[in-house]
Chain A
């Protein structure tokens, strides 16, 4: 992507040290995780999952949001995370720059709004799969004609899609026009048990019997159950995401992203796989929209502004496109930080913008770049070291030196690679006789 390229190129030298250390640490953590025996990994994973379920009950100081309802913030963050996971399939895996992802989010939300409230009064659990299906179909409808264009053009076309969806909503009377649709029912309750929240008012954790959450009772005041549902949906989606990424489909996406023509002649039906990425990404986006609609109780076109597409994309890019944990972290940064610092009033937007700029400068590949990017980065460092003469080029390298400037060649290839541009340095004309 060209944006990545430009930030990458301007990466200040001073940051090299810190990012190298960070990359090294990341690699070490990754390695330790893979070396750990399976039961240990399961146990750790389970503890982390439990921690996230308990988070709104624990209200941990510093993490908890003093100025807004913590449960509500966590729900928003979870929806952003879900959106980021979906958008990551499109942008991170298949390499398709989708600038109108909010369109799918809106389709999901409005499907739930229309079918559960005034126009249908259907049960939410029935409407949820319908919403997923509708958004998937809308993804295919958008993708089928547009996925034949590449790169920047696709970004513009999808940008248009997002706006078309919003404008259609504004101008459709039966969708409530600008006022939108209200009285969307909450999901069915399933009250099983009640847990009190923990209060840290005095600096020590105390059980606060005055604040309780019932599992699962979807109220207007207590948003924790919505968060639990969203978290569960995330876990389910992550399971499929992992399966898919490691399958033949995932490899087809990777090949298509790296070099579409080369993938095609290897036998990858690139168009089909791009469409699949679009459809699945849309499905997840629609799922997030559906959760949003049922929690919010109403939807209107203002909730689906273009800015939201930008925020979704920011979550994916900031977190590290292509890495599912990265994009989740990106969603946390994008959705949580502005809420956490709500007390700063208008300043929080400025601080947020600065934070994004700093991240773009110091972590151009994202907070947690995918393993691939980390590998590339390491290789680039090696090449740079070779060029500076820090390290001796130990293996006698007839091939590398063959083109006259092997190191230079490699440097160029590494650059091409890190910036995801066309890998073919076509201009490099041959020195034929």
Chain B
């Protein structure tokens, strides 16, 4: 297991956001957390990337407990996140944003970053057209691509994708999921949080359904996609 989450609980003040979460992500796989708004999916990702404090439980990355590692050092371990709601740097250009993605890298010479720029721009050709545009002035879809591309610039072993299809048109959603598949095929482990359950389950090797902070169903993507109660509640019957 590349990532192991054991009996994880996280609070927002006095409110329990997630309770006793246990799941793992196999190296090289795509795992997904699905569930409704407020089920605790984003909180789980933010806790793995270090933006939220663990109340109880453990998070192991590559077998090591990372609870004490601050968020800005986790990226050096190989965990990279594409934040929810297009968390790009709005005043920076696309190029500057991508460059920020490689901020924590040891080797930051332009020669060393070239292959990563090339890879990201190949995955998202749209970004190369807009390379000098200010990120905040781009469309939602473009910003989403930028956030994902930026996360890849760190050369992560595990990339955390928080609602990449949020607010996008169906055609574009399709495309984003194709790209996620491609990222995974290139060797990066993916943990995907999605409200768009149908698409996420089609892609995922393992899937977990969250309801009010707890995992209520686990299985392969196919298993959950064919589960009658999941179908009823999240896939529209």
Chain A residues with CB under 8 Å of chain B are: 248, 251-252, 254-255, 258-259, 261-270, 372-373, 375-376, 379-380, 382-383, 397-404, 406, 409-410, 413-414, 416-417, 423-426, 428-433
Contacts and interface: CB of A to CB of B under 8 A. Distances in A.
Chain A interface mostly helix, strand, loop or mixed? helix
B154 to A, nearest CB: 7
Contacts of B81: 265
Contacts of B166: 428, 430
Contacts of A413: 90, 136-138, 140, 143
A379 B139 CA distance: 12
A266 B136 contact: no
B14 interface: no
Given A265-B80, A402-B172, A424-B85, A430 B71 contact: no
Interface string B153-177: 0100000000101111101100000
B141 interface: yes
B76 interface: yes
Given A402-B168, A402-B169, A266 B90 contact: no
B70 interface: yes
Which one of B73, B88, B197 has the highest number of Cβ atoms from chain A below 10 Å of its Cβ?
B88
A424 B86 contact: yes
14 contacts: A248-B103, A259-B88, A266-B100, A266-B154, A267-B72, A267-B75, A270-B72, A376-B137, A403-B139, A406-B139, A417-B90, A423-B89, A426-B85, A432-B196
A424 B195 CA distance: 17
B98 to A, nearest CB: 11
Given A264-B71, A269-B72, A399-B172, A432 B139 contact: no
A404 B169 contact: yes
B236 to A, nearest CB: 6
Given A267-B72, A413-B137, A430-B165, A424 B50 contact: no
A264 B91 contact: no
Given A262-B83, A402-B172, A424-B86, A267 B76 contact: yes
A5 to B, nearest CB: 14
A255 B84 CA distance: 17
A258 B89 CA distance: 6
B195 to A, nearest CB: 4
**Which of B72, B154, B169 has the most C-beta atoms of chain A within 10 angstroms of its own C-beta?**
B72
B118 to A, nearest CB: 20
A262 B162 CA distance: 12
A270 B100 CA distance: 13
A74 B136 CA distance: 41
B91 A266 contact: no
Contacts of B74: 265
Given A267-B104, A423-B87, A428-B167, A254 B92 contact: yes
Contacts of B80: 265
A329 B137 CA distance: 29
A265 B50 contact: yes
B146 to A, nearest CB: 11
